[in-house]
Structure 1
Amino acid sequence: MMPDDNHTVFDPVTYILNGIPGTEESHFWIAIPFCFMYIVTLFGNSLLLFIILTERSLHEPMYLFVSMLATVDLLLSTTTVPKMLAVFWFRAGEISFAACVTQMFFIHVSFIAESAILLAMAFDRYVAICDPMRYTIMLTKSVIGKMGLAVVTRSFCIIFPLIFLVKQLKFCRTNLLPHTYCDYMAIARLSCDDITVNVWYGVALAILVIGLDAVLISLSYGLILRAVFRLPSKDTRLKALRTCSSHLCVILMFYTPAFFSFFAHRFGHIIPGYLLNLLANLYILIPPMLNPIVYGVTTKEILKRVINVFYRCCSRNSLLS
């Protein structure tokens, strides 16, 4: 079949991921810190999950939300980084269309889920500081479970239409993806169809979902700060702020590169493509790596149990030797 513009329409069986175009000679060396970040991500988030799930004293709303965040970070990293390293080190960029769409789906589901979890954590901190008397009544384990289910349901319902939008496209240009993973708009741009609907769905998703979550988080923290600065004691104010510090760091690590990447891709035409591509990779690698470190260092209860785990391991090794 030949369309009007004399391009041959085809159904892509496979795509070829090219890595970061313009940096081909450095792919081997770029992959080394990427691999290190992935190892730290796997170890840090797995350790965080193990500690929270095995320590009954940590079965509280705040830590249950942290465990959800760790699960999403593991899903995001494992969906993308192994294939990314294969592209860099072995030039194994071939990926089937079905696998590419599946990877795309789970990447975007992870982003939406992480945003929703950060919103839930902001609500948790709001209730803990602004209405502490009702904290245990409002945030029961049953409520936390329903919130977790709502996070998963919302993410799947919002991202599922992307699969249909991609499958409706006709491809006539190339199956070479100038990327290390299957991004929604990267696939859509290979189509010879009008992708206006695809572009606007992505914009609506960014504004109405990620943007709305960010606004609600900002509102909750505005109310939290107002309540904190009304506290009579300086020590009490500092303690309240410390309980929010780790969450604020994670929020900034997630939303700052997200919005920068979104606007740079749409309006930053003067920014070199390899820099945008590198930013997109770091956005997948850095927050999942730093999240468990931030919570491990700034949360006294988690840090104490991490030290205990390493102490027990060292004690066993010394006894065995």
Structure 2
Amino acid sequence: MENSSFHKVFILTGLQQSGRNKALYFYLTCTLYILTIAMNVTIIVTVRVDKALHEPMYIFLSNLCVNGLYGTVGFYPKFLIDLLSDVAVISYPQCVTQTFVIYTSAACEMTTLTAMAFDRYVAICRPLQYHSILTSQMVLKLLSLAWFYPLSVTLTVVLLSVRVPICGSFISKLFCDIPSILTQGCYQTTTNRIFGIFIMTGQVIQVLLICVSYAQIVRVCLRSREGRRRFTQTCLPHIIALFVYILSLLFDISYSWAYITNLPIALRNVLGMQFVILPPICNPLVYGLQLPQIRTAILKTYLKLKVSKNKCNNRRCC
């Protein structure tokens, strides 16, 4: 990569027509960010504190929330700063870093959902072998793979992208991503396209594995009323989370890869934002509402903290 690219500055044009609505967008985005942090942290702390939730299913859920927090760091802070600025500007190194964080989070979302589908498959289709298969070592391996694969793949994509000299200066989005960086390049490379196809193939394979797992789960659960109840309680949230992820991914593809210029810019911005907003806020909502164990544990944890706080206050008074 040429040294001049390091000093390149991009202008994010997605907010140029926001005008006087920037203040409203700032407060709404700030509220959404706070809610996202609060809900994900609540799930993480609850799983950490409640020993009854120290099971593979809830450990994977906690990892999903950790990943959600990681992904929001790549979008919300910079976007909030842009809403307070007259012109949204981002340096080339910041753009590359933001791309790396957002894409790593998106890929980790899929690998974690795949691990969760495997966990549910073993729990429902092979219950007698569950504890011998999903050992602590296996859970640790799955968690490591859930992060290693996204980090390595995303790093490779970013390194391939930054090899191309930058000629453009305007990104017609609210944040940086791979298509944005590539469109600013002086030329297109076949290597990037081939690797892009490889990544999409990997995502499709993971989706197919999840679908096959849940097809087997549905087949087993439909045999009894208890099976259907168990499916509704433990598997339905996973399917909803997968649907939210795929939906947000389709939004991003329609915005970035199949860019439609005749759509209003406000609608294009909404489509582009779903990729980084929907999963982090929907996952804790879905699991918190659907899983009775999580709801009970959150209430228990809240009551414990409240009792501890009252005891501390009483001691101070004495």
Q: 2:301 matched to 1:309?
A: yes
Q: 2:166 matched to 1:171?
A: yes
Contact kept, 8 Å, 2:251 with 2:275, in 1: the verdict is no
Q: 2:178 matched to 1:184?
A: yes
User: Over residues 176-230 of structure 1, what are the superposed CA-to-partner deviations in whole Å (9 max), with x where a residue is unaligned?
Assistant: 3222222111111112212554345334322x12222111111111111111112
Partner of 2:10: 15
Classify 1:10/1:24 alpha carbon distance in 2 versus 1 (closer, same or farther; 3 Å): farther
Counterparts of residues 1-321 of structure 1 (less than 5 Å): 10-13=4-7, 14-91=9-86, 93-174=88-169, 176-206=170-200, 208-231=201-224, 234-267=225-258, 269=260, 270-315=262-307, 320=313
Classify 1:110/1:121 alpha carbon distance in 2 versus 1 (closer, same or farther; 3 Å): same
Shift of 1:264: 4.8
Question: Partner amino acid for 1:56?
Answer: K
Corresponding pairs, count: 309
Classify 1:214/1:24 alpha carbon distance in 2 versus 1 (closer, same or farther; 3 Å): farther
Question: Partners in 1 of 2:247 and 2:23 — Cα distance?
Answer: 28
Question: Partners in 2 of 1:294 and 1:12 — Cα distance?
Answer: 41
Contact kept, 8 Å, 1:188 with 1:195, in 2: the verdict is no
Question: Partners in 1 of 2:240 and 2:209 — Cα distance?
Answer: 17
Shift of 1:147: 0.8
Partner SS, residue 10 of structure 2: strand
Question: Partners in 1 of 2:126 and 2:279 — Cα distance?
Answer: 30
Classify 1:212/1:272 alpha carbon distance in 2 versus 1 (closer, same or farther; 3 Å): farther
User: Over residues 277-307 of structure 1, what are the superposed CA-to-partner deviations in whole Å (9 max), with x where a residue is unaligned?
Assistant: 3222132112201211211121111111211
Contact kept, 8 Å, 1:104 with 1:184, in 2: the verdict is yes
Classify 1:316/1:149 alpha carbon distance in 2 versus 1 (closer, same or farther; 3 Å): closer
Question: Partners in 2 of 1:295 and 1:168 — Cα distance?
Answer: 41
Gaps of 5+ in 2: none
User: Over residues 113-156 of structure 1, what are the superposed CA-to-partner deviations in whole Å (9 max), with x where a residue is unaligned?
Assistant: 11000011011111111110001110011100011111111112
Q: TM-score, normalised by structure 1?
A: 0.88
Classify 1:58/1:214 alpha carbon distance in 2 versus 1 (closer, same or farther; 3 Å): same
Gaps of 5+ in 1: 1-8
Classify 1:93/1:271 alpha carbon distance in 2 versus 1 (closer, same or farther; 3 Å): closer
Classify 1:272/1:92 alpha carbon distance in 2 versus 1 (closer, same or farther; 3 Å): closer
Q: TM-score, normalised by structure 2?
A: 0.89
Question: Partner amino acid for 1:293?
Answer: L
Partner SS, residue 95 of structure 1: strand
